[in-house]
Chains A and B, each alone.
Chain A
């Protein structure tokens, strides 16, 4: 099991988890269109989600566009 901080909450992922699994767990739409991920503050390009492993204690931010801006 891998315990990460996903969008500010402690969440559990299977052992040998990947960024792609975290994106699903965060509730991102299928395929992750319009979604971006920062792993410990560094952007992980969409093409690397499936091959980038996440380790215990790492912090993930899974973001998308919302209404905003003056």
Chain B
């Protein structure tokens, strides 16, 4: 169990809901993932749309975490967060302020401004950030409830591109560190947990997998395994072998035919 802003969470996997074929597959995957929180985006009402994601997530026992996806400026992101608060009655927000369409990397300057404004306005701010230890520190100093560095660009499935930076972020952070974006498969999620992250947030790795519910199950196990391995204390890496069978009592046997 860990806590974000004083709120206990059993699951260290947070689900993004983007990319699922339909709400039914999303609900199945949500159940298999064990996630207690799932991100949603705010978009224009579409009278032709069928089904409410809020009701489906509620049915799966998952709480919504609105994001500010699609925002390129602090101003847009702050307004979007306020709209989400009004629509969904939560003051938690996954803050995203994107710098360009090709990489979807965060715009650090706008991100920090938006984080400061939203914290001042009473939000619990979970910022999607670059894997930059200094920016992570600035976001924490601004009052963010967690920092969520990317492993690699959203939807790229490249895993953790800069383990060194992630290590520095984890080492210094006094708030939870949640790896957000870039996970491609289970080993990436396990690695993030072994590296000291408190949780992993992912969407595409599950939603765009050939079998999303099966991948959701795999991700749940990977996050648990990575966390438990970290707590268990891994052996140090060595250059040479270290025998695991006793060196005494070895039989003397003919060594050549």
Contacts and interface: CB of A to CB of B under 8 A. Distances in A.
A27 B54 CA distance: 17
B18 A62 contact: no
Contacts of B23: 67
A26 interface: yes
A42 B79 CA distance: 7
A-B pairs with the 10 shortest C-beta distances?
A: A68-B41, A27-B47, A69-B39, A36-B87, A69-B16, A36-B83, A36-B86, A65-B40, A70-B154, A7-B44
Contacts of B203: 69-70
Chain B interface size band reads: 35 or more
Contact of A66 (B41, B47, B128, B180): B41
Interface of B: 16-20, 23, 26, 38-47, 49, 52-54, 64-67, 69, 79, 82-84, 86-88, 94, 128, 154-155, 180-181, 201-204
Given A34-B54, A34-B87, A69 B94 contact: yes
A2 to B, nearest CB: 19
A13 B87 CA distance: 23
B213 to A, nearest CB: 16
